[in-house]
């Protein structure tokens, strides 16, 4: 059994909601946000189909989730985040684009995975540019730790994919070490540690900013 997680990998910086974000949260949550209950989520009941379900952890402003859902209408997507402005922005775009294959969850991803997601039920997990907590004394806050990867592996469907991207080399090395230590996951890179950016991974504004700053981008794609 996983130990109770006490160190959070995020800081609740809700910020000020724009008028559009506030409207979306008030008027669209019932349609697109999964209710906060202690029950396991039944993907078939939620989406009214049997399509593969893929989850993005930490959606930011929602760009990657929206792009993935739009490009893959035959799959279902769930986005998890703790920050209301990003949830509100994403809601507005889901509605504007009429993306019926997307739902959102607001809360701590680890707690949600532990209590709301059934084992071997998710076909892909995405974790794009998580907070690197680059100061050494903060490394313990990084979300990618042994227990977290064990949890991901438990929830992944057979042959499921865990895809992480970061623009911090030190974090990439840490992620690689943690992933390699899990016997349930196998690196899909043909050579070396990292995979060239898969064409299906959207190029986000955050990533473009990192590239402008001269950061390298590291993709790690592991399969169960």
**How far is residue 193 CA from its own chain's centroid?**
21
Cα 53 to Cα 91: distance, rounded to the nearest angstrom: 19
Cα 165 to Cα 219: distance, rounded to the nearest angstrom: 4
Nearest 5°: the CA angle 105, 109, 111 is: 105
Alpha helices for the chain (secondary structure H): 19-32, 43-47, 63-71, 84-97, 109-116, 146-155, 169-180, 205-212
Q: How many CB atoms lie within 10 A of CB 90?
A: 27
Residues sharing a CB contact under 8 Å with residue 210, sequence separation 6 or more, in sequence order: 129, 167, 217
Cα 217 to Cα 86: distance, rounded to the nearest angstrom: 23
Reduced to 3 states (helix: H, G, I; strand: E, B; else coil), residue 160 is strand
Q: Which of 95, 108, 131, 219 is catalytic?
A: 131
Clarify whether 42 is annotated catalytic.
no
Active site residues: 131
């Amino acid at each position: 059994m996983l130990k109770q997680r006490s160190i959070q990998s995020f800081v609740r910086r809700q910020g000020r909601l724009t008028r559009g974000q506030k409207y979306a949260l008030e008027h669209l949550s019932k349609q697109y946000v999964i209710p906060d209950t202690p029950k396991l989520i039944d993907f078939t009941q939620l989406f009214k189909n049997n399509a593969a379900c893929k989850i993005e952890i930490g959606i930011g402003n929602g760009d990657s989730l929206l792009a993935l859902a739009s490009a893959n209408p035959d799959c279902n997507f769930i986005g998890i985040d703790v920050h209301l402005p990003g949830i509100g922005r994403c809601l507005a775009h889901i509605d504007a684009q009429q993306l019926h294959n997307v739902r959102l969850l607001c809360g701590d991803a680890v707690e949600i995975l532990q209590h709301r997601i059934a084992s071997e039920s998710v076909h892909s997990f995405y974790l794009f540019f998580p907070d690197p907590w680059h100061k050494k004394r903060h490394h313990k806050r990084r979300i990618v730790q042994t227990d977290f990867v064990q949890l991901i592996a438990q929830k992944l469907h057979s042959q499921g994919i865990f895809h992480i991207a970061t623009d911090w080399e030190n974090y990439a090395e840490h992620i690689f070490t943690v992933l390699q230590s899990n016997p349930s996951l196998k690196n899909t890179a043909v050579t070396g540690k990292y995979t060239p950016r898969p064409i299906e991974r959207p190029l986000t504004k955050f990533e473009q900013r990192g590239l402008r700053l001269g950061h390298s981008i590291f993709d790690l794609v592991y399969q169960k």
